[in-house]
Structure 1
Amino acid sequence: MVPPKHTERREGTLAPVKMFRTERQANFRKSVRKSVVQTGKQAKDEERRRMEEYRKLCKKEGIQSSRLAEYDQQREQANAQLDENLKQIDHDQTLTGAEKRRRKFSMKQKLASTTVTEMAEKNRKKPSAMVSMEKVQATREAQRAEVQAEREAAMKQKFQRIRARREVQQYHQMISSQECRANRKTGQGRRAPSYGGVPQVVQEGRHSIFSTGRVRPTTRAGECSTR
């Protein structure tokens, strides 16, 4: 029996080789994935070409485009996320070398076949009750933080006033104690009321004895009367 030529199989004159079901499924998934990736790459190349032309036009006209800024930001975020995922795969000790290479290739291929518009659409949250609740919660959190900041500022100002008042009181007490010590050094005491027309000088101590023989309490040693 003469073996068939390769040209005959290529031209379709011979029946295709029969494959098992799993092989057919794997081949189908591979072909579909390849076509999807190829289509995505073409779409991304077309998008990049259009954005570069738009960038040149904006540069020529001197226009600051927010669309270009958002486009660049989305690309940078996607690249940063890819780098982080690749590092996580490298540090994963449960994967073999072949699995790591396969996962890295899949991630890079997915990024290469996904346009920036699709990324932005995927990250953009659709309007729903949950999104509205998140907005309300964020507003309440901002209001609560503002009230807390105002309260902390008021408490700080209150403590500053209390500290300043205490410093003034301590200063006056220090001045009065210095005056008392100066009076004791010069021998000037507090004048007591006169008895029988003769003024008596009150001595500093626990008690003072007057000429009448009575004992009158006075200020303690080291204290100064303010009366």
Structure 2
Amino acid sequence: MQKASPTTPHFATHPNEFLAALYQAAVNRALPLHNTAAYLPPPPKGRTVVLGAGKAGGAMAQAVEALWPVDKPLSGLVVTRYHHTPPRPAGVPERIEVVEASHPVPDAAGLAAAERILQLTQGLTEDDLVLFLISGGGSALLTLPADGLTLEDKQRINRDLLNSGAGIGEMNCVRKHLSRIKGGRLAAACAPAQVVTLTISDVPGDDPSVIASGPTVP
């Protein structure tokens, strides 16, 4: 266990302040800007396209924008939940588009974002890199119904799943089989480009095939 900072209030004399300090330390450690650098791959010979979905998508995109070399190409599209795009840090240029959609029941904005994200995988080469930013909530935000299904079908099924009492793994197992983009299909669409996925987990066990229904994990 890491020792508390010398500035951390003592638990015996200031218990409330001590707990608040522990909470704030945990929140700060989870912020993408504080933990992304160690996991970024080197820039490729070609383009870097950032795609993603999740409630932390806006913060993850901003972290990549802040950390990516300014002289290297960077573009892409990430979808996050309504009102979940954080204020832009001072001095960080906007290079990745962030759009918002509905969660936990998908809507037309999420469908449009998923269609655009799938389109951005076209024309990639083996010199290109696709950086996927995946976090909790991505399953609803990245909705692209399988052939024969409509958005209304997906909305009804999502509501039924949410009311069923099923666990997140069970729900996302159903969701990925009703999607043209989940269950690894999004990664497959990127071939022959290199694919790297950065994930913030919100599911017990951290199974990458369950987080956001695994758009890059079959």
Q: Which has the higher helix share?
A: 1
Please indicate the TM-score interval, normalised by the length of the shorter structure.
under 0.3
Q: Which has the higher strand share?
A: 2
The normalised TM-score by structure 2 is 0.24
Greater relative contact order (CA < 8 Å, ≥ 6 in sequence): 2
